Amino acid sequence: MITAVKGTQDLVFPEVGRWQAVERAAHETFARYGFTEIRTPVLEPTELFVRGIGDETDIVTKEMYTFQDRKGRSLTMRPENTAGVARAVVEHRLYESPLHGRLYYIGPQFRYERPQKGRYRQFHQIGAEVLGDPAPGVDAETIAMVMEFLGAVGVMGPAVQVNSVGCPNCRPIYVSALKEELAGSAQHLCGDCRRRLETNPLRVLDCKVPTCQPYLDKAPSFTDFLCEACAEHHDALREALEILRVPFVPRPRLVRGLDYYTRTVFEVTSSALGAQDALLGGGRYDGLLEQIGGPACAGFGWALGMERLLMALPQPAASRLPWTYLAWAGGGTYRAALALARDLRAAGAVVVMEHTARSFKSGLKRADRMNVRYVVLLGEEEAGSGRFTLKDMATGEQWALGREELSRHLAEEVGA
């Protein structure tokens, strides 16, 4: 038997219904803020992620699915979507279009990680990007939008944490202070932290190894090293969040796992996720487009994992629109059944019929297994008279209804 690749999963009803509900809420919420959807390829040039994400990040060094195609070109299955969106913006000059300044995406990403609950090698992200506006109000409004979305889908106990990681002017000063503070504790840090302290010091602060935390807690706070412009940006962000009524907690050592972030970074946690409570994150990336060959263009965005999000939601009962089963029996009734199913669906009803002949008794058993509320019985008598028997499977009651009356009754059941 051939099984799914490790770290991937198949989604079927009723679980897929929860995914569809989240996606609908995303489309509806983001549209109210003027966002339009973008769909980028799963395959991208490897160079895009090396230049955009950073060649010392765990994603690039450990987790990417990279291969050469038949012409020797290095391709990578996208491990995240911001770099791909930035590439599309540069390639199609979308930064010149006021219609494409706010973009969102929904789709699969790929990373070679150890599979665990809520984390897969093929995982799915919802994300949003705002391009071309460097103002801190953009940061605050986009955070407000994601919190509205989380509220719409029913996330339990969401909380916002914010920080600033400065800019190319003030960040090097912080990095020097960080290295100096941790130099004496390096022998107590994990192997990854010791390596990162030399190659990419900010990534040390993102370590999740418990034994490293007491030493990382002594690291200096970013906000003590911000230049005047970055400090003003951060203060304005906090003020805008308060105006938008988004509760937040300052987290002065918060960083993100990608190198392109500048100034604002944020993370949203959920009390439903336990100790590993991070649900989503993002921030400002004003230099990303330049890194991949585009113009200077401000950017702000975030992404969340669908699998993690669903773990933070209540488990609702499986739901679907009410089905009606159309049972037909007797010579010459199949054509009449096809026509009746067509008319009922046109009126808005959800109709399931089978195309292999079976008795009414067998059809009723099938309908019961499908957990349908109503069954329409179409035999030779009904086909001749134009009045069809509607059976309520919950009560056992039956009615003889004409085509229009039947259509109207079943459409009302699904709210059509």
Distances (CA, A) of 60 to 99, 294, 297, 305: 32, 21, 24, 19
List all residues 6 or more positions away from 179 whose beta carbon is below 8 Å from its beta carbon.
197, 201
Residue 27 maps to a domain: yes
311, 332, 363: which is the final residue of a domain?
A: 311
DSSP states along 251-262: -TT---SSTT-E
One domain for residues 307 and 341: no
Of the CA atoms within 13 Å of residue 41, those in its CB half-sphere come to: 10
Report d(CA 128, CA 300) in Å as an integer.
8
pLDDT at res. 56: 62
List pLDDT tens digits, range 69-116: 999 999 999 999 998 999 999 999 999 888 899 999 999 999 998 877
List pLDDT tens digits, range 144-159: 999 999 999 999 889 9
pLDDT at 318 over 60: no
One domain for residues 330 and 281: no
Residue 184 maps to a domain: no
Alpha helices in 65-119 (DSSP H): 82-91
Residue 61 maps to a domain: yes
Strand 387-392 and strand 374-378: pairing? antiparallel
Structure-token match 């989604």, residue found: 11
CATH label of the domain that carries residue 334: 3.40.50.800
Residue 390 maps to a domain: yes
List pLDDT tens digits, range 124-140: 999 999 999 999 999 99
One domain for residues 25 and 155: yes
Distances (CA, A) of 382 to 68, 93, 379, 392, 401: 64, 63, 5, 17, 10
pLDDT at res. 319: 66
One domain for residues 360 and 299: no
pTM (predicted TM-score): 0.84
Task: Could you list the beta-strand ranges (E) of 58-135.
Answer: 65-68, 74-77, 102-110, 122-131
List pLDDT tens digits, range 325-377: 999 998 789 999 999 999 999 999 999 999 998 899 999 999 999 989 999 99
pLDDT at res. 265: 95
pLDDT at res. 415: 67
One domain for residues 296 and 234: yes
One domain for residues 273 and 341: no
Domain range for residue 388? 323-413
Residue 191 maps to a domain: no
CATH label of the domain that carries residue 286: 3.30.930.10
List pLDDT tens digits, range 182-230: 888 888 889 888 888 888 888 888 888 888 888 888 888 888 999 999 9
What average pLDDT does this structure show over 275-283?
89
- Spatial contact of 109 and 123, defined as CB atoms under 8 Å apart: yes
pLDDT at res. 119: 81
Q: Is 242 helix (H, G, I), strand (E, B) or coil?
A: helix
List pLDDT tens digits, range 245-265: 999 999 988 888 677 789 999
- Spatial contact of 352 and 323, defined as CB atoms under 8 Å apart: yes
Residue 318 maps to a domain: no
List pLDDT tens digits, range 156-172: 889 999 999 999 999 89
DSSP states along 342-403: HHHHHTT-EEEE-SS---HHHHHHHHHHTT-SEEEEE-HHHHHHSEEEEEETTT--EEEEEH
One domain for residues 334 and 291: no
Residue 202 maps to a domain: no
Q: Which of 308, 319, 218 is nearest to 268 (CA)?
A: 308
Q: What is the total count of domains within the chain?
A: 2
Report d(CA 379, CA 331) in Å as an integer.
8
